[in-house]
């Protein structure tokens, strides 16, 4: 993916060219964003047909899968197989394994727990962290890797990822075909699916291992982490597979903003210095409905002065295409009086991805003990006043009843 910095685009014609070529056909993101991720999660859960995730819209194959979907629905009705038969705890664990391997969007850490809740059980976010410690990250797909998502389908798609990681998966789970995952993979192998799609990849002069790395050659494990500390007692998330290793540990001064718009304006107007730790708060589920902070993350990513030195922390969420040290879903969120509400400019913040920690470690630029920091935060909490909630109608219904992002941000 090329890097475009401020001032690099010089004409309206150039802007038009990017608009026309940036997304040349219908379909989902050409990177492992949330739309692409959730296609993969639907298939990994067993709720979408084998091989259907990431299928390019321009291929005739999509018509075949559409017909197969119709037949599959009738088969499920005949066999009385319902989503509850498919969406089991084992299926969710399988999905998290695949999520770790493909470098999926952090938004799956909202969607999967919310789906599980609808089925009557809680999906512990710590399970994501546990599995991401040991699942090989094998897919070379942007923003964590080099290639666009359609090449993952040409390389064999989610079924090929499942085959590579079969030792980590429960192959006996039921799927929408009315067959188990093991039976589905065997059927795809027997009917020549993997040999057929690789022909598309050959057109690019690439090999399967360029896109899906052999497990034994993989050095990176997982793609997302759950961070905890005095900023996020319930947790926060980061997609570390899209973070340069030099920013896996960082200590810097806080600069706090109470909306994304404020932070964005500061970034584009040159008011942010390298090394800063930016906070965007009151953007969580109850604060503003938890929008993506994409406008600000992209402004940072294309600024060569900031893109390899600035951390962004928020109780909001991110686009699946976000890259860099961006920490989201901070819980409890600011609007309910979570610790992120009491951060002040100049506080020293430590991000430690390796050890899964996110903490205030100093006040006014000076290191302090944990006891000193706790005392100061208790004093700040006494002075804090909850901002007025201005949302109305359906939006107010959601923000008044949304649960923590770490639980799935659903309406309780």
Q: For residue 240, what is the DSSP state?
A: G
The Cα–Cα gap between 52 and 55 comes to: 6
The Cα–Cα gap between 405 and 41 comes to: 19
Q: Return phi, psi of residue 154, to 5°.
A: -60, -30
Beta bridge partners of residue 311, listed in sequence order: 277
Q: Side by side, which strands form the sheet with 277-280?
A: 225-227, 235-238, 326-331, 311-314, 277-280, 249-257, 348-352, 357-363, 366-367
Pairing of strands 225-227, 311-314: unpaired
CA angle 71, 77, 80 (to 5 degrees): 135
- Supply 111's token pair: 């969607």
Question: Which residues, 6+ apart, have CB-to-CB distance to 371 below 8 Å?
Answer: none
Pairing of strands 311-314, 235-238: unpaired
Q: Is the dihedral of CA 291, 295, 298, 303 positive or negative?
A: negative
The Cα–Cα gap between 311 and 254 comes to: 9
288 counts as catalytic = no
The Cα–Cα gap between 319 and 293 comes to: 7
C-alpha pair distances (Å), 189 with each of 184, 185, 195, 197, 206: 9, 6, 8, 12, 21
Catalytic residue among 105, 309, 319, 331: 319
Q: For residue 228, what is the DSSP state?
A: B
The Cα–Cα gap between 13 and 332 comes to: 46
Among 232, 241, 191, residue whose Cα is nearest residue 330 = 232
Among 147, 137, 326, residue whose Cα is nearest residue 236 = 326
The Cα–Cα gap between 155 and 305 comes to: 36
Active site residues: 319
């Amino acid at each position: 993916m090329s890097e475009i910095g401020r001032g690099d685009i010089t004409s309206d014609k150039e802007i038009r060219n990017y608009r026309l070529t940036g997304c040349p056909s219908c379909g989902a993101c050409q990177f492992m964003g949330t739309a692409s991720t959730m296609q993969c999660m639907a298939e990994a859960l067993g709720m979408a047909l084998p091989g259907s995730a990431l299928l390019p819209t321009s291929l005739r194959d999509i018509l075949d899968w559409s017909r197969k979907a119709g037949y599959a629905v009738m088969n499920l009705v005949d066999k009385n197989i319902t989503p509850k038969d498919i969406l089991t705890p084992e299926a969710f664990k399988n999905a998290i394994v695949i999520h770790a391997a493909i470098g999926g969007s952090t938004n799956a850490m909202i969607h999967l727990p919310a789906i599980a809740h609808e089925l009557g059980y809680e999906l512990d976010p710590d399970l994501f962290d546990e599995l991401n410690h040991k699942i090989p990250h094998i897919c070379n797909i942007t923003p964590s890797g080099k290639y666009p998502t359609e090449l993952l389908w040409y390389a064999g798609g989610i079924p090929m990822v499942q085959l590579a990681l079969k030792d980590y998966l429960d192959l006996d789970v039921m799927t929408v075909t009315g067959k188990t995952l093991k039976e589905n993979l065997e059927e795809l192998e027997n009917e020549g699916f993997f040999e057929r799609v690789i022909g598309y990849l050959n057109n690019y002069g690439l090999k399967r291992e360029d896109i899906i790395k052999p497990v034994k050659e993989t050095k990176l494990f997982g793609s997302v982490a759950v961070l905890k500390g005095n900023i996020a007692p319930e947790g926060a998330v980061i997609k570390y597979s899209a973070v340069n290793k030099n920013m896996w540990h960082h200590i810097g001064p806080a600069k706090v903003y109470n909306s994304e718009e404020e932070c964005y304006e500061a970034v584009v107007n040159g008011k942010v210095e390298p090394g800063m730790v930016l906070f965007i708060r009151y953007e969580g589920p109850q604060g503003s409905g938890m929008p993506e902070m994409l406008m600000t993350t992209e402004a940072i990513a294309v600024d060569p002065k900031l893109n390899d030195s600035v951390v962004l922390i928020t109780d909001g969420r991110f686009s699946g295409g976000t890259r860099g040290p961006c920490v989201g879903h901070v819980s409890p969120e600011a609007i309910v009086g979570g610790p992120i509400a009491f951060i002040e400019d100049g506080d020293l913040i430590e991000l430690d991805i390796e050890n899964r920690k996110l903490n205030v470690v100093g006040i006014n630029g000076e290191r302090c003990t944990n006891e000193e920091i706790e005392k100061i935060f208790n004093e700040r909490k006494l002075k804090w006043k909850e901002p007025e909630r201005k949302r109305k109608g359906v939006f107010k219904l959601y923000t008044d009843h949304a649960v923590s992002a770490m639980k799935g941000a659903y309406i309780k």
